[in-house]
Amino acid sequence: MSAVIDFLNTIFWSYVLIYGLLAVGIYFTIRLKLIQILHFPEMIRSVLGSSETDHAGITPFQALCTSLASRVGTGNIAGVAVALYLGGPGAIFWMWVVAAIGMATALAESTLAQLYKQKDEEGRYVGGPAFYIAKGLKAPWAGTLFSVCLIISFGLVFNAVQANSIADAMEGAFGAPKLVTGIVLALLSGLIIFGGIPMIARVAEIVVPFMAAGYLGVALFAVAMNISEVPAMFGLIFRSAFGLEPAVGGVSGAMAAAMLNGVKRGLFSNEAGMGSAPNIAAVATPDPHHPVSQGFVQALGVFIDTLLICTATALLILLSGALVPGSGLTGTQLTQAAMQHHIGVAGPYFVAISIFFFAFTSIIGNYSYAENALAFLGIGSHLGKGVLRVAVMGMVIWGAYETVATVFDAADASMGLMATINLIAIMLLSGLVARLTADYLAQRKAGKKPRFVASSMPELKDQIDPNIWNR
């Protein structure tokens, strides 16, 4: 089994997804005419909208915060440090590139999730890639496979990974026993996830801005204290990105290492194209009432995750001088050493607390995705949700004190298959994304508040809910 899983991960993560995610991002960037750059202000405007007449979904801001809750995790702290250690400062440049093109992919998948959303038995919105795969491509079997993979990876195993990161951080900083941390974490998670997606959204809109602002605040402090070194640091990043800094392996080797590690960390961190964030994008009530407005919201999520929070970690490390190639100091320990340089003995504790918040919000955000997958599978009843919630709590406790590599590798394979299905789906539906985007921008250009009406695309009559899009 380990050999099979390793083979699948090699295929998915060394070939299919690295090149697939990049290619799809470039494709949508070109087809949507640099929409993520030329229409960036629209992202801010879409996040601030809030419909007072449709309470079947959460607000755009809640959807953004919930997706960030899942996106912003230990990868933003430890993952960036690993990318810097293995790829050098130039890896950060390639993370920026990946995020910039990934914003177009995020817009596409979340636009489709909005378009194909439905209402569940409680009258609340549900949706995501499984729904547009089943309805838009008429491939319910693929939607089912996607949902199962999503529940395994995001709903269960990745939550164990996040719990393990928290337990390690708490033990290292405060000496807390891992099992105790796991039990406390499971109880805290249970208090929130048993309230369902509305409760998760309310918690996320409070906690996520708080944790992001605190972390970015410390990074800005570090920049301010070392402002004279900042221009040289950015010069170092750009030179290293193209192998122009002295390094082992020569120009081509240094550039390849920077690109490989930057691209991988960027893709894993922002999740654009993975098919995860669209699950919460579908639950939102967009304002303007158009599928593309939620696409803009989730594109902004990629920007915040990588271009702000990951960059903050990179700045902290590069300005500290803690990055020493070949020293063996990497991951969380490297970020802690950098933070200690900037704020003294409180640094490692600050990183541990940051990991707690980043990873904890990832747990509740990941659960919200899995709940949508249950709805697609037709087992989203109170019993089905209850079983999943208890299972999540159990995985949190288990993950806090146990690390079984094979299980984690299996989750990677599961997510690889899930992401591959999603990339194929959004490419096949790319024409629809382009038409919806053109319609949205044309209405904006005409001075109107964009509004999508199902009757404007009669060919979608049997695929989307007219009661949602004809109101």
Summarize pLDDT for 124-164 with one digit per residue, the tens.
899 999 999 999 999 999 999 999 989 988 888 888 888 88
For residue 39, CA distances in Å to 42, 114, 164, 168, 206 come to 6, 19, 40, 42, 27
Q: In this structure, is residue 438 part of a structural domain?
A: yes
Q: In this structure, is residue 471 part of a structural domain?
A: no
Report the 3 state secondary structure along 2-56. HHHHHHHHHHHHHHHHHHHHHHHHHHHHHHCCCHHHHCHHHHHHHHHCCCCCCCC
Q: What CATH number should be reported for the domain holding residue 192? A: 1.20.1740.10
104's tokens: 């177009």
Q: In this structure, is residue 140 part of a structural domain?
A: yes
Q: What is the pLDDT of residues 332-382, one digit of tens each?
A: 788 888 888 898 888 888 888 888 888 888 899 889 899 889 989 988 788
For residue 211, CA distances in Å to 92, 117, 193, 217, 358 come to 22, 30, 19, 10, 8
Distance CA(61)–CA(301), nearest Å, equals 10
Q: In this structure, is residue 464 part of a structural domain?
A: no
Q: What are phi and psi of 125, to 5 degrees?
A: -70, 140
Q: Report the candidate in 265, 272, 307 with the shortest Cα–Cα distance to residue 110.
A: 272
Alpha helix segments (H runs only) across 303-346 = 311-320, 331-343
Distance CA(186)–CA(116), nearest Å, equals 33
Q: In this structure, is residue 212 part of a structural domain?
A: yes
The pLDDT score that the predictor gives to residue 248 is: 46
Range of the domain at 186: 2-454
Structurally, the chain folds into a number of domains equal to 1
Distance CA(137)–CA(333), nearest Å, equals 46
The pLDDT score that the predictor gives to residue 143 is: 94
Q: In this structure, is residue 338 part of a structural domain?
A: yes
The pLDDT score that the predictor gives to residue 251 is: 53
Q: In this structure, is residue 392 part of a structural domain?
A: yes
The pLDDT score that the predictor gives to residue 440 is: 95
Q: What is the pLDDT of residues 432-446, one digit of tens each?
A: 999 999 999 999 999
Q: Which residue has the higher pLDDT, 471 or 239?
A: 239
Instruction: Note the Cα 2 to chain centre separation in Å.
Output: 27
Q: In this structure, is residue 253 part of a structural domain?
A: yes
Over 90: is that where the pLDDT of 417 sits?
Answer: no
Which residues 6+ apart lie within 8 Å of 219 measured at CB? 312, 313, 315, 316
